[in-house]
């Protein structure tokens, strides 16, 4: 009887602990989500309620047209178009060249391989501010400054994706490649017909990470662009945030729209995403 | 003979000796043109006086002498360390705490984990914009909460004492989820029989955490710490969006100083010199990182 009483105590203690843990993490999740809610509420509020103090936690009516006016007012429509072009083009380029280079580093032996790999490694931690001025000058000389190409091309080579590609491709057994060679396949056919079909998870992780990074990037557009017809969403938002008079309806509406593509990509590819982040941690 | 003749007939792009170079070429060209060569050029520009027009004039170490006598630059070094020392431990403790709690079986675990991670996929510009609005002096939500609790409103972005705290809060909000995922992966790596053994030995929850979990996560702690430090040192977007380094240089970090010297003031030489100083900091961090990894 004594033991069963203790068991009961333990169980109650256990339930209490679970409840406390649940309340704590649930609160953390609410804090994480609250700014999104606030973005939404501010975006759809009538203008006069923006200026109301105390702030209204729930708008008296939903002005859905705030989203369309925001897109028209500042040239956000144009900024979104530019961001789409930059993201799609640069993701395509980055994923292709990272797969090729990752393949070369994983499966070939060649002279200066270690040297080239060291070069890749050394680029990992260099902040853009260190190389900013020369990059600006080089881009001017190449005639790509103040064009979308100037935003797209320079950061296309990127070490982290290359590491992931090398890591993943080295797990493909060499026998598969040798079998291909015996059948008379060229090296590029081996890449196309043997490597690519075997690295689909790698490709999705690379695509997701590159899309996120390029869509969210501020620094390259900021350095490369001077005329606002080429501005990306992030650059447009950032400049408007510093303005004297800020129209919070528009700002929050545009922010929310700009967040949608990445949040949707995240929700669809959650598993790949978390695995990608986690494996970068284990690797390091 | 015949063999030789056949080999010469293979076009070079199919030669197995040439192929790997072709495959790494696009990456390597981009790395060289936009990373490696610019580093060396930065060293050169740090020794010249140049405003973007005309010919650069060689002035040896004058730029370095200038920035190290510039109160704003010294302040920016201080601010960078302040921001780093404040954000890194906060991020580590919060991420670890939430990861451990989420590692137990509770309802809605998956949804809660995703929710806490979501801020990490949002652009820093959007984070900066939303937090500017939440911390706005007259209409912001935070000041509303402070005043309704009986406090006085704080001019967050316009008060040198509070601007950096605002940036730190925004950073912690944005990056906790990312580090939590890394800690969760680390926790998965802890063998369950070790925990069971500790339970049999009569260890309580705190002792298990203190003597089993915490030491076994050593590698994860190191990884999280170093990535957080590197991110703190090169964090630019948030400062640029929220405060532009103000008020009164209270949030001017080294990266912000470099940007401002180059693109607002056209002192390209001084900006390059400050960039070189930043480069030295990054090299030191990198060496520490490799030292730690070697030891394991």
Same domain, residue pair B15 and B140: no
Beta bridge partners of B58: B48
Q: Report chain A residues whose CB lies below 8 A from the CB of B139.
A: 50-51, 53, 55
Residue B224 counted as domain residue: yes
Measure in Å the smallest separation between the Cα of B58 and chain A Cα atoms.
16
Decide if A39 touches B, using CB distance below 8 A.
Answer: yes
pLDDT tens for each residue of A106-146: 999 999 999 998 888 888 878 888 998 999 999 999 999 99
> Is residue B152's pLDDT more than 70?
yes
Domain boundaries, chain A: 2-50, 75-283
Same domain, residue pair B100 and B194: yes
pLDDT tens for each residue of A183-222: 888 888 889 988 999 898 889 889 988 999 999 999 999 9
> Is residue B200's pLDDT more than 70?
yes
Choose between A282 and B169: higher pLDDT: B169
Pairwise CA distance, residues B138 & B144, whole Å: 8
pLDDT tens for each residue of B201-254: 888 888 888 888 899 998 889 889 988 998 999 899 999 999 998 899 999 999
Confidence band, pLDDT 50/70/90 cuts, at residue A102 = very high
- Range scoring the smallest mean pLDDT among A10-19, B67-76, B110-119: A10-19
Residue B56 counted as domain residue: no
* % of chain B beyond a pLDDT of 70: 97
Same domain, residue pair B109 and B25: no
Same domain, residue pair B24 and B95: no
Same domain, residue pair B76 and B195: yes
Same domain, residue pair B136 and B19: no
Closest residue in chain B to residue A251, using alpha carbons only: B129
Same domain, residue pair B172 and B223: yes
3-class secondary structure for B114-152?
HHHHHHHHCCHHHHHHHHHHHCCCCCCHHHHHHHHCCCC
User: What residue numbers bound the domain in which B40 lies?
Assistant: 2-45
SS3 A20: helix
Same domain, residue pair B9 and B116: no
Same domain, residue pair B28 and B89: no
Residue B191 counted as domain residue: yes
Position A7 scores a pLDDT of 54
Choose between A7 and B85: higher pLDDT: B85
Measure in Å the smallest separation between the Cα of B219 and chain A Cα atoms.
8
ipTM: 0.88
Listed residue (B231, B36, B33) closest to A121, CA to CA? B36
Same domain, residue pair B13 and B67: no
Number of domains present in the structure of chain B: 2
Of A42, A50, A131, the CB nearest to B39: A131
Same domain, residue pair B212 and B85: yes
Residue B235 counted as domain residue: yes
Same domain, residue pair B151 and B122: yes
**CB within 8 Å: A35 and B30:** no
Please state the pTM of the whole predicted model.
Answer: 0.89
Residue linked to tokens 């015996």? A182
Residue B207 counted as domain residue: yes
CATH architecture of A75-283: Orthogonal Bundle (1.10)
CATH number of residue B290's parent domain:
1.10.3720.10
A59-A62-A63 Cα angle (round to 5) = 120
Position A281 scores a pLDDT of 56
Which tokens go with B270?
A: 């001084």
Query: What is the pLDDT averaged over residues B60-74?
Result: 93
Of B45, B255, B263, the CB nearest to A127: B255
Residue B50 counted as domain residue: no
Residue B116 counted as domain residue: yes
**CB within 8 Å: A110 and B21:** yes
Confidence band, pLDDT 50/70/90 cuts, at residue B7 = low
Pairwise CA distance, residues A173 & A107, whole Å: 10
């Amino acid at each position: 009887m004594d033991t069963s009483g203790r068991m009961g105590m333990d169980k109650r203690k256990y339930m209490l602990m679970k409840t406390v843990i649940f309340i704590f993490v649930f609160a953390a999740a609410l804090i994480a989500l609250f700014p999104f809610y606030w973005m939404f509420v501010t975006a759809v509020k009538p203008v006069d309620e923006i200026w109301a103090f105390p702030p209204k936690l729930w708008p008296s009516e939903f002005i859905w047209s705030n989203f369309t006016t925001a897109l028209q007012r500042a040239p956000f429509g144009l900024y979104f178009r530019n961001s789409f072009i930059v993201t799609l083009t640069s993701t395509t380029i980055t994923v292709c060249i990272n797969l090729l280079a990752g393949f070369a580093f994983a499966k070939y032996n060649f002279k200066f391989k270690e040297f080239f790999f060291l070069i890749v490694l050394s680029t990992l931690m260099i902040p853009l501010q260190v190389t900013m001025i020369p990059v600006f000058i080089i881009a001017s000389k190449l005639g790509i400054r103040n064009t979308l190409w100037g935003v797209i091309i320079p950061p296309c080579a990127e070490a982290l994706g290359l590491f992931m590609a090398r890591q993943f491709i080295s797990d493909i057994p060499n026998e598969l490649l040798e079998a291909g060679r015996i059948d008379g396949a060229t090296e590029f056919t081996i890449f196309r017909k043997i490597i690519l079909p075997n690295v689909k998870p790698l490709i999705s992780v690379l695509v997701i990470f590159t899309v996120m990074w390029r869509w969210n990037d501020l620094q390259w557009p900021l350095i490369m662009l001077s005329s606002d017809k080429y501005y990306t969403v992030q650059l447009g938002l950032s400049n408007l945030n510093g303005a004297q008079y800020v129209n919070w309806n528009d700002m929050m509406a545009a922010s929310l729209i700009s967040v949608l593509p990445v949040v949707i990509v995240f929700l669809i590819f959650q598993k790949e995403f978390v695995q990608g982040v986690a494996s970068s941690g284990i690797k390091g | 003979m015949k063999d030789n003749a056949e080999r010469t007939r293979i076009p070079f792009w199919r030669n197995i000796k040439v192929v790997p170079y072709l495959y790494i070429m696009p990456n390597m060209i981009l790395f060289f043109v936009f990373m490696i060569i610019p580093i060396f050029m930065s060293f050169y520009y740090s020794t010249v006086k140049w405003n973007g027009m005309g010919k650069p004039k060689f002035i040896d170490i004058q730029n370095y002498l200038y920035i190290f006598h510039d109160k704003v630059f010294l302040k920016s070094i201080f601010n960078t360390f302040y921001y780093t020392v404040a954000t890194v431990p906060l991020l580590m403790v919060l991420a670890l705490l939430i990861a451990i709690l989420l590692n137990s079986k509770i309802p809605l675990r998956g949804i809660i984990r995703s929710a806490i991670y979501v801020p990490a996929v949002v652009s820093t510009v959007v984070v900066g914009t939303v937090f500017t609005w939440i911390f706005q002096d007259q209409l912001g939500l935070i000041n509303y909460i402070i005043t309704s609790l009986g406090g006085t409103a704080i001019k967050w972005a316009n008060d040198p004492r509070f601007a950096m705290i605002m940036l730190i809060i925004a950073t912690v909000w944005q990056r906790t989820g990312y580090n939590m995922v890394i800690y969760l992966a680390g926790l998965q790596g802890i063998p369950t029989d070790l925990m069971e053994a500790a339970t049999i030995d009569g260890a309580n929850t705190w002792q298990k955490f203190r003597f089993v979990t915490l030491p076994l996560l050593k590698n994860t702690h190191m990884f999280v710490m170093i990535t957080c430090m590197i991110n703190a040192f090169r964090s630019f977007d948030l400062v640029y969006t929220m405060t532009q380094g103000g008020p009164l240089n209270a949030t001017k970090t080294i990266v912000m100083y470099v940007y401002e010297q180059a693109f607002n003031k056209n002192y390209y030489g001084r900006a390059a010199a400050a960039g070189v100083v930043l480069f030295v900091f990054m090299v030191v961090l990198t060496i520490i990182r490799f030292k730690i990894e070697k030891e394991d």
